[in-house]
Every structure is written in structure tokens, then in C-alpha cells.
Amino acid sequence: MLSVAEIVLVTLAAAAIAAVAQYVFKKNVKKFGFNRKELIDIFTNRAMLAGLALYFLSLLLYLYALHAAPIISFVYPVFASTFIFVLLISKFVLGERIIIPRVIGMAMIIIGIIVISFTL
């Protein structure tokens, strides 16, 4: 059985990997539509396949955390840290401007994760 800290770390790792997968998708999806040619282009693009592999790895870690934690209402909110990782990637990798309401939202998510970590 994993400790609470280990469950949180596995879930955070899953969230970070999911955020990187989203970055890979954002940087590599050139054109998207629900037609045959564009879907084939997406699913034959190596970078997009790498993004899917990252999402799959994230899913495996998330499933492991769900298995290890006695309640889903503990794991799922911690996985919300994906929003934090995406915001950090947006700022430091993509150079996006981050406005105060987003910083406040990120702080609220962090506080929520900390509070939830003490409830198991």
C-alpha cells in the first residue's frame, strides 16, 4: 500500500505527463478536422503519436494512484494539478502572458491539493 505522499507524487507525475502531452499536441497539430485525410495526418505524425504515448503513460500512473488510494475523491482533485503544469508550460515554454486571475486560480488549486492531502 502506498503512503499518502506517494499517492500524491504518483498523481502529480501523471498530471505533469498529461500536461506535457497537451503541449506536444498544441505544438504539432497543424490542421484538425473530422475528415479522413486530416485524421490520418494526425495519427501518422510522430510527434502526435508521442503525445498519445505520453497520455497513455499518464493514464497508467493515474490508474495506479486510483488503485492505491482508498477513495477517488482524493486522487481526482490532486490530478487537477494538470492545470498548474499547463499554466507553467504556457508561461515558460510558450511565452504566454499569465494574468493575475490565472495566478489566483493556480494558488487556489495548490491550496486545495494541500488541504485534500490531509484528508486521507
Sign of CA dihedral 109, 113, 115, 120: positive
> Domain containing 9: what range?
4-117
At 93 the pLDDT is: 95
Number of domains in the chain: 1
Q: What are the Cα distances from residue 111, in Å, to 5, 26, 28, 106? A: 16, 28, 33, 9
- pLDDT confidence band for 23 (50 / 70 / 90): very high
Cell of 59: 493514464
pLDDT, tens digit, 9 for 90 and up, residues 52-107? 999 999 999 999 999 999 888 889 888 999 999 999 999 999 999 999 999 999 99
Give the residue among 22, 9, 27 at the shortest CA–CA distance from 85: 22
> What sections of the chain are H helices per DSSP?
4-28, 36-43, 46-68, 72-79, 82-92, 100-117
Cell of 72: 477517488
- Residue type at 109? I
